[in-house]
């Protein structure tokens, strides 16, 4: 049983109807430590609407009843609740006959919660709520076994099965669950986000909550999430980075996105002013026409502050109410209606209410949730009309409808939204609003923010009428009312889900009206019977024929001229083609052979050099005074000073385009390669920039050597290598522009020395490759002493681990392989998993 042995299903109904998600979340946040001390397993706070309610109704031990009553008694309030004698009949109507009206459900449920969590709950209400739905009024006195959560209340049978929270933590999220979480985050639907977060770990929940808070501009809430994370967790680093960026950009005119829900703040000190901006609830009107409003919130600097009974009496003596006369208001409010007034104290006022209405401010706009997306305007319109016809509070008031995809649309200020005419003009739509939760109902304080777009909710009949008007204006023809009515009925009676079929019907109907053969047969003989009509028609026909014949003659002459020009151009083209063919045949055959040979071997740069030498030989001996030019006579090298720590390297790589997981993987893999004496090749997009960053990882000096295209000797490379001899890290840039066998023999010697004689002369060797069409292949021997990561492939999405790989299938030399695996074993947690997948993909690319 739940609180006070109430039936869980009935309590779940009251919580679902009478509270809001943000209120239930606040209960767990405010009471977490107290609940834990009483034995409740709420270390991982529940996520999702159903999970929040299920935890309160079924998983809290009996010892937490005092905590539950105290918090709900203080925070779940209703200024004008349904009278207690009426609550049980209303609930009986729902549970026994399932006939509780929608507009009464929230008020009755919230009122029942107020009475249930009072200091002395009514026995009749308790008796009804303890009885299972459908059970007789006096059930046998048998108590269902309470679900025990704490260690002292858990029996032997319960101890055999793990708690639900522990089971959820042990379950690894599936791919569809990750996709569901991403979809809900993108849509901005907080309820969908909470439901999608249920199977994920506490760290992931805290990360998502913090990022959403940062997106909404709530830096304090995001900072609070840091308390739930360990100091070395990657989620902590991500949140801190996001916080630093958000703080940096707070002054950049950035607006929060999404429909935010905010609870009114607590009033810590009483403001001193001659007048107050209040939000109140209409409670009564006397026989003399005096209207009584009970203030429930104070508006200060655009924010709402909730008022307790003591606050009301202190600010608005002596009754805590404010008053006016019915003649002073534009419209008499309905019972329990929320109003926004500016009130001021009248010293000469008689009675207990001394504050009176000074002016009516713009009313609060209530948020009504609709379970349909904005992409279905017909369904949105039908839902709005249905809600407006059944909920009396919506009549004659402007409201905001919140759609399931996070789009908020505001109804027109005037007009009856139960009629199609209210949807003729597009409705203003927002994707970003701040809303306030007042006694379980959601309101927007004002619409200062400009609408993001316009949402067209007009029915197809309205669009058809606009089409007819445009058609009449363009064609200078009119349709009679009977024809328009016939087409409108055809559109109105067609299926709402067949838009294409409706469009075809409209087109067919219009064509039938415009091209009605029977109507033409009736009209033409009448016109032809008049001589003046015949004469005028013959004149017009003669003029038109002469005009068309003149145009035809001019077109024929122009066609003849174009034909002659075409023949001349074709003749010139054939002559140019003949001359080009002769020039091509006169080219040296040796040039063709050299070019063909270079293409077949796939070495474009060597083909260029071969063509150059062949052409030089065809032209004769080299002229005197000219020396033979060697490609890539010199190689550029330079030293770079200053080391980067691991977090700095991750930050640099992220700026260059890698995501957080990829940056961690490359940085950790580079450190393992340096520790093991293994070379690291990065091939593909941005490889050159990544290598220059990784070369500075914990290295005070790094030498950079750029390989030009067309090296035919290793002499210049050895000179460049000697110039960076003192560098702790060596980075070779664009290593595949020239044959690696020509210049890289000394590098291979360094790496083989690491395998045969321990650590070689270099601490670390990194190489970048373009991996493009002009690149040369790396020799197979490189795989024996180096790790190659192809960045243009899914290099970080491997699914295998070391247990599934046979070591003999890895081409890396055995000593180097052992060092690499030893370095991998020193990593822990997520870092090890990331690096292991990248390493296996790099070492076994063909499997």
How far apart, in whole angstroms, are the C-alpha atoms of residue 539 and residue 659? 78
Q: What is the DSSP letter of 56?
A: I
Exposed / middle / buried, residue 814 (Cβ in 10 Å: 0-12, 13-18, 19+)? exposed
761 vs 401, higher pLDDT = 401
Residue 158 exposure: Cα atoms within 13 Å on the Cβ side: 14
Annotate 551-584 with DSSP letters as a single string.
HHHHHHHHHHHHHHHHHHHHHHHHHHHHHHHHHH
> Of 372-381, 577-586, 629-638, which gets the smallest average pLDDT?
629-638
Residue 753 exposure: Cα atoms within 13 Å on the Cβ side: 13
Q: What are the structure tokens assigned to 23, written together?
A: 């209120």
pLDDT band at 147 (very low <50, low <70, confident <90, very high): very low
Nearest to 13 by CA among 99, 96, 137, 110: 110
Tokens 């998600």 appear where?
21
Residue 490's pLDDT is 63
What digits encode the pLDDT tens for the residues 365-403? 999 989 888 888 888 998 898 888 877 666 667 899 999
For the chain, the distance separating the N- and C-terminal CA atoms, rounded to the nearest angstrom, is 57
Mean pLDDT of 221-237: 76
pTM: 0.47
Nearest to 262 by CA among 310, 307, 221, 308: 221
Contacts of 766 (CB under 8 A, 6+ apart): 670, 673, 679, 680, 682, 691, 694, 695, 729, 730, 731, 732
95 vs 128, higher pLDDT = 128
Count CB-CB contacts under 10 A for residue 528: 11
Residue 140's pLDDT is 46
461 vs 17, higher pLDDT = 17
Question: CA-CA distances (angstroms) from residue 105 to 28, 284, 366?
Answer: 25, 22, 17
Tokens 């935010």 appear where?
260
Contacts of 533 (CB under 8 A, 6+ apart): 527
CB 80 within 8 A of CB 333: no
How far apart, in whole angstroms, are the C-alpha atoms of residue 445 and residue 436? 7
Mean pLDDT (the chain) is 78
Residue 144's pLDDT is 44
How far apart, in whole angstroms, are the C-alpha atoms of residue 486 and residue 516? 15
Q: How far is CA 419 from the centre of its chain?
A: 35
Residue 41's pLDDT is 86
Residue 241 pLDDT > 80? no
> Of 20-24, 565-569, 583-587, 768-772, which gets the smallest average pLDDT?
583-587
Question: CA-CA distances (angstroms) from residue 339 to 3, 360, 364, 809?
Answer: 35, 8, 7, 77
pLDDT band at 409 (very low <50, low <70, confident <90, very high): very high
Residue 244's pLDDT is 66
pLDDT band at 339 (very low <50, low <70, confident <90, very high): very high
Residue 97's pLDDT is 64
What digits encode the pLDDT tens for the residues 264-317? 998 889 998 889 999 999 998 988 899 999 999 999 988 999 999 899 999 998
Pick from 289-303, 486-500, 510-524, 621-635 the range whose average pLDDT is largest.
289-303
Q: What are the structure tokens assigned to 246, written together?
A: 């958000």
User: Class for domain 637-843, per CATH?
Assistant: alpha beta
Q: What are the structure tokens assigned to 734, written together?
A: 């664009």
What digits encode the pLDDT tens for the residues 676-718? 888 899 998 889 999 999 988 888 899 999 988 878 888 888 8
How far apart, in whole angstroms, are the C-alpha atoms of residue 509 and residue 485? 12
Count CB-CB contacts under 10 A for residue 250: 11
State the Cα angle at 109 between 108 and 114, rounded to 5°. 95
Residue 625's pLDDT is 37
What digits encode the pLDDT tens for the residues 154-191? 333 333 434 433 443 444 566 667 777 777 777 666 66
pLDDT band at 359 (very low <50, low <70, confident <90, very high): very high
Question: Does the domain spanning 265-360 belong to CATH 2.40.50?
Answer: yes
Q: Taking the alpha carbons of 56, 61, 62, 64 in that order, is the dihedral positive or negative?
A: negative
Q: Using omega within 30 degrees of 0 as the cis cutoff, is the peptide bond preceding 416 cis?
A: no
Question: What are the start-end ranges of the H helices in 262-368?
Answer: 309-315
């Amino acid at each position: 049983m739940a609180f006070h042995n109430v039936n869980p299903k009935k309590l779940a109904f009251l919580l679902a109807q009478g509270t809001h998600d943000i209120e239930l979340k606040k209960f767990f946040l405010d009471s977490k430590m107290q609940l834990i001390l009483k034995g409740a397993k709420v270390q991982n706070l529940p996520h999702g609407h159903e999970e929040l309610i299920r935890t309160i109704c079924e998983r809290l031990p009996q010892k937490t009843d005092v905590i539950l009553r105290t918090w709900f008694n203080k925070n779940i309030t209703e200024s004008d609740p349904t009278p207690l004698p009426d609550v049980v009949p209303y609930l009986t109507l729902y549970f026994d006959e399932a006939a509780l009206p929608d507009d009464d459900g929230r008020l009755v449920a919230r009122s029942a919660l107020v009475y249930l969590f009072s200091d002395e709950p009514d026995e009749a209400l308790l008796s009804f709520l303890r009885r299972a739905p459908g059970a007789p009024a006096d059930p046998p006195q048998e108590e269902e076994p309470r679900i025990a959560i704490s260690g002292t209340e858990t029996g032997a049978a319960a101890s055999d099965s793990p708690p639900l929270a522990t089971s959820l933590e042990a379950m690894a999220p599936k791919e569809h669950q990750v996709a569901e979480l991403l979809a809900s985050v993108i849509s901005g639907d907080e309820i969908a986000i909470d439901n999608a977060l249920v199977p994920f770990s506490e760290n992931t929940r805290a990360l998502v909550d913090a990022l959403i808070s940062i997106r909404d501009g709530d830096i304090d809430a995001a900072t609070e999430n840091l308390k739930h994370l360990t100091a070395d967790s990657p989620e902590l680093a991500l949140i801190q980075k996001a916080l630093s960026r958000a703080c940096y950009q707070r002054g950049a005119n950035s607006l929060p996105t999404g429909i935010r829900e905010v609870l009114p703040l607590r009033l810590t000190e009483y403001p001193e002013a001659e007048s107050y901006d209040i939000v109140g609830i209409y409670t009564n009107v006397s026989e003399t026409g005096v209207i009584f409003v009970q203030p429930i919130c104070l508006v200060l600097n655009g924010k709402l502050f909730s008022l307790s009974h003591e606050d009301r009496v202190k600010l608005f003596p002596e009754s805590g109410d404010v008053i006016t006369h019915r003649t002073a208001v534009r419209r008499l409010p309905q019972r329990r209606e929320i109003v926004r007034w500016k009130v001021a104290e009248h010293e000469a006022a008689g009675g207990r209410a001394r504050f009176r209405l000074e002016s009516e401010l713009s009313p609060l706009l209530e948020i009504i949730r609709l379970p349909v997306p904005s992409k279905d305007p017909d369904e949105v319109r039908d839902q709005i009309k249905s809600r407006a016809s059944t909920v009396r509070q919506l009549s004659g008031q402007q409201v905001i409808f919140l759609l399931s995809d996070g789009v908020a649309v505001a109804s027109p200020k005037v007009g009856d939204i139960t009629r199609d005419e209210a949807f003729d003009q597009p409705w203003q739509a927002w994707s970003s609003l701040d809303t306030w939760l007042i006694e379980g109902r959601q309101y927007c304080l004002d619409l200062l923010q400009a609408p993001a777009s316009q949402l067209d909710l007009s029915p197809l009949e309205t669009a058809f009428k606009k089409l007819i008007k445009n058609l009449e204006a363009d064609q200078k023809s009119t349709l009679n009312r009977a024809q328009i009515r016939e087409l409108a009925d055809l559109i109105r009676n067609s299926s709402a889900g067949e838009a294409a079929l409706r469009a075809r019907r409209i087109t067919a109907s219009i064509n039938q009206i415009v091209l009605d053969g029977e109507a033409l047969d009736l009209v033409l003989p009448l016109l032809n019977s008049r001589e003046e009509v015949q004469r005028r028609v013959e004149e017009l026909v003669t003029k038109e024929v002469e005009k068309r014949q003149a145009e035809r003659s001019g077109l024929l002459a122009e066609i003849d001229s174009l034909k002659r020009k075409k023949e001349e151009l074709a003749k010139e083209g054939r002559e140019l083609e003949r001359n080009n063919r002769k020039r091509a045949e006169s080219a040296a055959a040796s040039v063709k052979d050299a070019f063909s040979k270079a293409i077949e071997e796939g070495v474009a740069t060597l083909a260029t050099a071969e063509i150059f030498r062949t052409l030089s030989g065809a032209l004769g001996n080299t002229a005197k005074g000219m020396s033979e030019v060697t490609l890539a006579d010199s190689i550029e090298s330079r030293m770079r000073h200053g080391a980067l720590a691991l977090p700095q390297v991750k930050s640099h790589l992220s700026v260059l385009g890698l995501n957080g997981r990829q940056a961690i993987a490359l940085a950790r893999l580079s450190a393992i390669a340096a520790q093991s004496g293994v070379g690291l090749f990065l091939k593909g997009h941005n490889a050159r920039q990544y290598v220059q960053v990784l070369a500075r990882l914990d290295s005070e000096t790094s030498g950079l050597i750029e390989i030009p295209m067309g090296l035919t000797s290793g002499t210049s490379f050895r000179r460049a290598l000697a110039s960076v001899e003192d560098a702790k890290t060596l980075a070779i840039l664009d290593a595949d522009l020239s044959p690696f066998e020509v210049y890289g023999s000394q590098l291979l010697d360094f790496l083989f020395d690491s395998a045969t004689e321990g650590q070689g002369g270099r601490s670390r060797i990194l190489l970048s490759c373009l991996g493009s069409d002009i690149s040369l292949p790396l020799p197979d021997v490189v795989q024996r002493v180096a790790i190659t990561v192809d960045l243009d492939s899914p290099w970080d999405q491997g699914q295998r681990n070391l247990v599934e790989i046979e070591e003999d299938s890895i081409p890396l030399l055995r000593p180097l392989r052992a060092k690499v695996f030893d370095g991998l074993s020193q990593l822990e947690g997520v870092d090890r998993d990331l690096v292991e997948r990248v390493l296996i993909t790099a070492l076994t690319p063909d499997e």
